[in-house]
């Protein structure tokens, strides 16, 4: 043990733990791709760092992580600002429910927003992107609980029915926004394979109007294999790398 501070020793142990878990995640993703007969190069892993300190994001950046996910504007903007100089390569993905009045702030630092579920939010993001002179990739979030015939899940967000296409149209029409594709969270207690198959079906319908909207953001720590099998291009993985979230909601 070095004689330096406990914090430094703890940081080293934490970095080693993150490296170990990240390595295992990469193996897991490669195995999922192989099982689905897919090229792992077609998969982007977004490591969701919400509720964890900026030191963890820095350690992950040092391990080659390029894509990080956050779910609250205040936390995300502070982390992005703290790491902008040291890690300009980091791409920030906003994955949580987003209030319209936070859209302008998010458009300043986010490369992608995975949770666009209202036309009004799309317009607010477009205004923010224009003001910042940036382009933001947008995923339209689909409420799979509603799509599978259950009640909509307001806590999770997401558009249902024809609204999915309306939001996609609004994103595609907006200068400063790029329609990447669709995003969803598998509803609790549902078979994720069935949920992601439904997402793929909705995506096929959206692509008839927007052929370039080929990205599919699906799959988290607990269900990424099912998502890869269903054609996910972006996996949003938090706890498998960072551990149980402190004070998780």
Contacts with ligand PLP, residue ranges (CB under 6 A): 48, 50, 71, 95-96, 185, 220-222, 236-240
CB of 187 to ligand PLP, least distance (A): 13
CB of 221 to ligand PLP, least distance (A): 3
* Cβ closest to ligand PLP, residue 176 vs residue 238: 238
Report which of 162, 106, 164, 103 is spatially closest to residue 139, judged by C-alpha positions: 164
CB of 237 to ligand PLP, least distance (A): 5
CB of 242 to ligand PLP, least distance (A): 7
* Cβ closest to ligand PLP, residue 107 vs residue 237: 237
| Nearest position to ligand PLP, beta carbon | 238
CB of 158 to ligand PLP, least distance (A): 10
């Amino acid at each position: 043990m070095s004689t330096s501070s406990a914090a430094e020793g703890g940081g080293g142990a934490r970095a080693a733990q993150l490296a170990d878990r990240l390595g295992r995640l990469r193996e897991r993703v490669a195995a999922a791709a192989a099982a689905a007969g897919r090229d792992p190069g077609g998969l982007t892993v977004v490591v969701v760092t919400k509720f964890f300190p900026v030191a963890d994001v820095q350690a992950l950046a040092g391990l080659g992580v390029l894509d990080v996910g956050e779910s609250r504007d205040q936390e995300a903007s502070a982390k992005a600002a703290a790491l902008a100089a040291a890690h300009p390569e980091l791409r920030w993905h906003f994955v949580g429910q987003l209030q319209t009045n936070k859209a302008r702030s998010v458009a300043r630092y986010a490369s992608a927003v995975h949770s666009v579920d209202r036309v009004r939010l799309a317009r607010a993001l477009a205004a923010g992107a224009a003001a910042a002179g940036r382009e933001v990739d947008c995923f339209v979030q689909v409420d799979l609980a509603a799509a599978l015939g259950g009640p909509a899940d307001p806590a999770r967000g997401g558009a249902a029915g024809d609204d999915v296409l309306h939001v996609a149209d609004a994103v595609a029409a907006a200068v400063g926004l790029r329609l990447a594709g669709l995003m969803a969270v598998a509803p609790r207690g549902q078979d994720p394979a069935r949920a992601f198959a439904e997402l793929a079906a909705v995506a096929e319908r959206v692509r008839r109007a927007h052929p370039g909207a080929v990205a599919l953001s699906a799959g988290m720590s607990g269900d990424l294999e099912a998502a890869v099998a269903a054609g996910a291009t972006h996996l949003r993985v938090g706890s498998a790398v960072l551990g149980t979230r402190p004070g998780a909601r």
